[in-house]
Amino acid sequence: MSDWHSRPLEQVMKELDSRPSGLTERESAQRLERLGPNQLEPPRKPSVLARVLGQLKDPMILVLLGAAALSLAASGGEDWLDGAIILIIVLVNGVISITQEDHAQQALEELRRMSSPQAHVLREGRAKKISAAALVPGDVILLEAGDMVPADARVMECSRLQADESAMTGESVPVEKGAHDRLPEEAALGDRTNMVLSGTMITAGRGTALVVATGMDTQMGRIANLLLEDKEGDTPLQRKMGEISKSLSFLCLSVCAVMFGVGLIQGKNMLDMFLTAVSLAVAAIPEGLPAIVTIVLALGVQRMAARGAIVKKLPAVETLGCASVICSDKTGTLTQNRMTVQELWTPAGGHRRDALLAGCLCSDARLEWKAGAPTAVGDPTEGALVVAAAREGVDQEKEEQNWPRTADLPFDSGRKLMSTIHAREDGSWTVFVKGAPDILLERCVAGPRGPLSAQDRRAVLEANEAMAQKALRVIAVARRELHILPPGLEPRAVESGLTFLGLFGLMDPPRPEVKAAVARCHLAGVRPVMITGDHRATAAAVARELDIIRPGEWTVTGGELDFMPQEVLEEDIEKFAVFARVTPEHKMRIVKAWQKRGHVVAMTGDGVNDAPALKTADIGCAMGVAGTDVAKGAAHMILTDDNFSTIVSAIEEGRGIYSNIRKAIHYLLSCNIGEIFTIFAATLLDFGQMPLVPVQLLWLNLVTDSLPALALGVEPVEEGVMEEKPRDAAAGLFDQKFSFRLAWQGLMVGGLTLAAYFLGFTRLAAPGMEGAVANTMAFATLTLCQLFHAFNVRSEDRSLFAQGALSNPAMNRAFLVGMALQLSVLLVPPLQGVFAVTAMDSAQWLAVFGLAAAPIPICEITKALGRKGERGEREERSAVREKAKR
C-alpha cells in the first residue's frame, strides 16, 4: 500500500494498530518475527562451483590445461599422472584464491555491520536507540537533523523538519516536511511532504513519525533492484597492482616465448618445451598480486577497527599513510566532552537564579539523580547547565511545569545559538536563548533585568575573555518576553532584543591520551590543527596545553577568514594551528587551502553541515558517538570513540599496511624473478635438460607464493614508522632502490638454484644419477630458498635478528607449512614419484640447506652496509646543516 500520505493520520495509526506512545516491546517483537528485519535483501551470491569454474577462465590456466592435455595425448596416455597433477594443482590454487576472496569479503562485511545504522524509537512511551534493522511498521521514530531516515514513515509532529530526498527523487533542494493530515492521493513521491522516506537524510529540524513500511516494502526497497549496486571501486594501489600484474605477465610471456624458441632451435622436444614454458608462466606471473593487496588491506582494516577506526572505503587506508595534516574538532575529539560549570558570572543587578533558570529550561538534556547526585543525559554542554542549576536548587522538571515549552529553535553550529519558547499564563511567551557570548551579546538590548550599557557590554566581554583564557568554554544566557510570536518563528526575529542574564564557564578537560598523540604527530611529520566553534581564547588555551600551537604559529577566527580571500588563506595556511569560532562552511575552505599547498588532509566532523568538508578531505573522519548519520555517510572513516589519538593510530596502521603490501610485492616479485632467471639461464646455457620440470614449477607456485606473502602482509607495524615523514602520495611504488633490490635478490635466488643444480650435476651425484640429482637439488633449493628469503623481506633495512627472527607468528606458520609440504614431496616415496624427484643423501641435503639458507646472511650483510651508508649520509647532512647555522 502506498497511499499512506492521503489518509488522516488517525486512520493510519489505527490501521497499523499503533499509538503516539509507540508499540510495546512484545508487539514489536511479534511484528519483527512476522515481517522480518528492516533491511534490503542483499543480491544473491554466485555458487562455489561457479566461482571455482570462474577461476579456470584465466587464459593462462586454460593454456596450461590445454598443454597438459596435449602432452597426455602425445604420450599415448602414459603420462597421465603429470596431467592429473597439473589439474589438481590448478584446482587447489583456485580453491585457495576463493578462500582468500571469501576471507576478504567477510572482513569487509563485518565492517559494514559495525557501521550499520541506528534509529531512535519510542517504545511504551520511552525513547531508545535500537538497530534500524529492528524497526517494524507501527513504530514511532524520533528524527533530528543529521539522521538518516530508517524506514518509510508518516510525519506525526515536527518543527522545521527538512529532508534531503535527492537519493530517491533526484531533487537536490531539501524538502520542507509537515504533519499535514491529508495530501492528494496522486501526489508524486517528491510532493508527499507528510512522509519521510527510508534512505533519505534529515537536514534540519526535528520531528516524530510513524513507520508505515520497512525493508523491501519501502520505496527504497521497490527500486533496490534498479539501483546500481554500490560496488566498491578499486583502490589506487589495487589498480596499480592490476596494471603491474599485466605488464609483468607480458614480460613473463615474452621470456617464456623466447625460451620456447631457443629450446626449439636447440632441438628439444617441442611439447616438453611448451609445457615448461607455460608452467613457468603460470608460476611466475604474479596473478595473485591484486588479491593479496586486497586481503592485506582488508585485514589491516580489521586491525584498525580493533583500534577504533572503521574504514568505510578501502582507498582511505592507503591515503592514511600519506596524511600530512589532521584538522580536528576540539570538543569531544581533543577534549573529553565532559563538561562541568566552573564559574557563573552575572552582570551588575542580575540574579544567579535567572541565569540558572534560563540555562536549564533552554536545554534538551534531562536531569537525572544518581545516588543523590544530579547528573544529566544528552548534550554535555547542556547537561552541565542543568546539573549546575540543580545543585543550586533550580530543578528542571519542576520549572518545566511552570514554564511549559511550546516551541524551540534547535542549536546549530552556524548560528551558535539555541532558543526555547515557553507559554505564560497571561497568554504571552518567554523566550530563553543561550549560545556563544559574542554572538548572543549582539542580540541584546537594554532591558529591565539587565540594562546593557556600553560599560556593561565591556564588563561581559571582559568576563568572557577571563573565563576563555582559563580554557573554559563560555555559554551566555538571555531572555525575552513576547506578546506575539514572529511569523514562522524566524530565528533572526525571535533571537533579537534579548535581555542579557549571565555567563557560564564550563570546563572540558583534554583527553589524557591526546598530548602524547600530538607529540607523535610532530615526530611523524603530521601537522595537528584545531578547528573549533569555540571562542579564540578558549581554543588557544586548550591548544597550548596540548602543544598543538607552537611558537610562531597563529590562531585565526572564522570572522577573520570571512575577510580573507582564498588565495591569501592558501598562502598563509601553514602558519595557522588553530581556527576558532568557525562555522562548518569555513571547514571546506580550510581543507581546500591545505590541499592546494600539496597536503593530504584528514578532517573530523560530526554535523550535517560538515558533510561537504568531510567528502572533500582526503580522509574525512566522522564521529561514531556524537556524529550524525549524514556525517557518517559522507566520511571515509568513522572513529568509534571520537578520539583524536585514534586518527593518529590509524595513520600509523595505514603506514604499516602500505609498507607490508610493499613487502608482499617485494617477496613475490623477487622470487618470481628468481624462477624466471633459473629457467631462462638454463635454456640459454643449454643444460640438456631443464633444472625444473613443469609439475615442480607449479608446485613451487603453490608452496611458496600465497602463505609467506600473506604473512608479510600481517607483519606487525615496524618500529619507527612514525618517525619518518609522510609518504608522498604521488610517488610510485617502484622507486629505483626498490626495483634494484627486487632485481638483485631475484638473481640471488636464481643463482643459488643454478649453483645447486651444478653442484648436483658435477660433484654430488653418483654416476648415472647426475640429471636426476641435479634436478632434485635445484627444485629443493629454489623452494626452500624462497621460504628462507621471506624472512629477509620482513624489513627493508633492519636486521632480522634485531627485529626478532620469529616475531611474526604468521610467518613462522607459513614457513613451517611450506617446509612440511616440501619435505613430504622430497621424502615420501609415492610423492617423490609424482614430482619426479629422487632421494637425496646427506651431502646433497647439506648442500641444499646451505644454499637455501644463504640469502639470510647475504641480505643481513647488505642491510648492514646500507645502514652504514645511510648513517654516513645522515651525519654528512647534519654537519652541513650545522655549518650553515654557524
Residue 508 near ligand ATP by CB under 6 A: no
Residue 666 near ligand ATP by CB under 6 A: no
Stretch that binds ligand ATP, among 66-74, 374-382, 827-835, 863-871 (CB under 6 A): 374-382
CB of 157 to ligand ATP, least distance (A): 22
Contact criterion met (CB below 8 Å) for 785 and 852: yes
CB of 704 to ligand ATP, least distance (A): 52
Residue 436 near ligand ATP by CB under 6 A: yes
Residue 532 near ligand ATP by CB under 6 A: yes
Stretch that binds ligand ATP, among 252-260, 290-298, 468-476, 588-596 (CB under 6 A): 468-476
CB of 563 to ligand ATP, least distance (A): 20
Residue 599 near ligand ATP by CB under 6 A: no
User: Could you give the CA distance from residue 711 to residue 809 in angstroms, rounded to a whole number?
Assistant: 8
Q: Total residues contacting ligand ATP (rule CB under 6 A)?
A: 20
**C-beta closer to ligand ATP: residue 578 or 661:** 578
User: Could you give the CA distance from residue 788 to residue 778 in angstroms, rounded to a whole number?
Assistant: 15
Cell of 145: 537533523
Q: How many CB atoms lie under 10 A from the CB of residue 766?
A: 9
Stretch that binds ligand ATP, among 92-100, 208-216, 323-331, 612-620 (CB under 6 A): 323-331
Selected from 200, 214, 319, 413, the binder of ligand ATP by CB under 6 A is 413
What backbone phi and psi angles, to 5 degrees, belong to 444? -95, 150
- Binding to ligand ATP in span 247-266, by CB under 6 A: none
Question: Any catalytic annotation for residue 562?
Answer: no
CB of 561 to ligand ATP, least distance (A): 14
Stretch that binds ligand ATP, among 325-333, 451-459, 696-704, 829-837 (CB under 6 A): 325-333
Using CA of residue 27, residue 33, residue 39, residue 40, what is the dihedral sign?
negative
User: Could you give the CA distance from residue 651 to residue 645 in angstroms, rounded to a whole number?
Assistant: 10
CB of 531 to ligand ATP, least distance (A): 6
> How does strand 325-329 pair with strand 473-482?
unpaired
Selected from 147, 165, 329, 675, the binder of ligand ATP by CB under 6 A is 329
124: left (phi over 0), alpha (psi -120 to 50) or beta: left
Selected from 321, 435, 746, 760, the binder of ligand ATP by CB under 6 A is 435
Which of 152, 164, 329, 618 is catalytic? The answer is 329
What are the helix (H) ranges across 443-489?
Answer: 454-469
Residue 418 near ligand ATP by CB under 6 A: yes
Contact criterion met (CB below 8 Å) for 597 and 570: yes
Stretch that binds ligand ATP, among 146-154, 526-534, 560-568, 758-766 (CB under 6 A): 526-534
Task: Please give, one letter per residue, the 3-state secondary structure of 705-736.
Answer: CHHHHHHHHCCCCCCCHHHCCCCCCCCCCCCH
Cell of 854: 644463504
Residue 416 near ligand ATP by CB under 6 A: yes
Query: Which distant-in-sequence residues (6+ apart) come within 8 Å of 594 by Cβ?
Result: 325, 327, 573, 601
CB of 474 to ligand ATP, least distance (A): 6
CB of 811 to ligand ATP, least distance (A): 43
Residue 206 near ligand ATP by CB under 6 A: no
**C-beta closer to ligand ATP: residue 436 or 638:** 436
Grid look-up 654557524 returns 886
User: Could you give the CA distance from residue 85 to residue 632 in angstroms, rounded to a whole number?
Assistant: 51
**C-beta closer to ligand ATP: residue 413 or 781:** 413
CB of 443 to ligand ATP, least distance (A): 13
705: left (phi over 0), alpha (psi -120 to 50) or beta: alpha
Residue 164 near ligand ATP by CB under 6 A: no
Cα end-to-end span (Å), the chain: 83
What backbone phi and psi angles, to 5 degrees, belong to 560? -70, -35
Stretch that binds ligand ATP, among 219-227, 230-238, 528-536, 830-838 (CB under 6 A): 528-536
Residue 331 near ligand ATP by CB under 6 A: yes
Residue 473 near ligand ATP by CB under 6 A: yes
Nearest to 480 by CA among 424, 417, 436, 429: 429
Residue 432 near ligand ATP by CB under 6 A: no
Residue 706 near ligand ATP by CB under 6 A: no
Nearest to 543 by CA among 592, 595, 580: 580
CB of 582 to ligand ATP, least distance (A): 8
User: Could you give the CA distance from residue 310 to residue 624 in angstroms, rounded to a whole number?
Assistant: 9
What backbone phi and psi angles, to 5 degrees, belong to 544? -65, -40
CB of 536 to ligand ATP, least distance (A): 10
Stretch that binds ligand ATP, among 13-21, 378-386, 677-685, 701-709 (CB under 6 A): 378-386
CB of 510 to ligand ATP, least distance (A): 12
Selected from 154, 312, 422, 434, the binder of ligand ATP by CB under 6 A is 434
Residue 420 near ligand ATP by CB under 6 A: no
H/E stretch holding 360 reads helix 352-361
User: Could you give the CA distance from residue 750 to residue 650 in angstroms, rounded to a whole number?
Assistant: 39
H/E stretch holding 430 reads strand 429-435
Q: Based on DSSP, count helices (H) and strands (E) in the chain, helices before strands.
A: 34, 23
**C-beta closer to ligand ATP: residue 253 or 518:** 518
Selected from 238, 319, 381, 844, the binder of ligand ATP by CB under 6 A is 381
Nearest to 146 by CA among 193, 200, 220, 191: 200
Nearest to 45 by CA among 90, 109, 93, 133: 109
Query: Which distant-in-sequence residues (6+ apart) come within 8 Å of 727 by Cβ?
Result: 321, 322, 655, 658
- Using Cβ positions, the residue closest to ligand ATP within the complex turns out to be 533
Binding site for ligand ATP (CB under 6 A): 329-331, 379, 381-382, 411, 413, 416, 418, 434-436, 473-475, 532-535
Annotated catalytic residues are 329
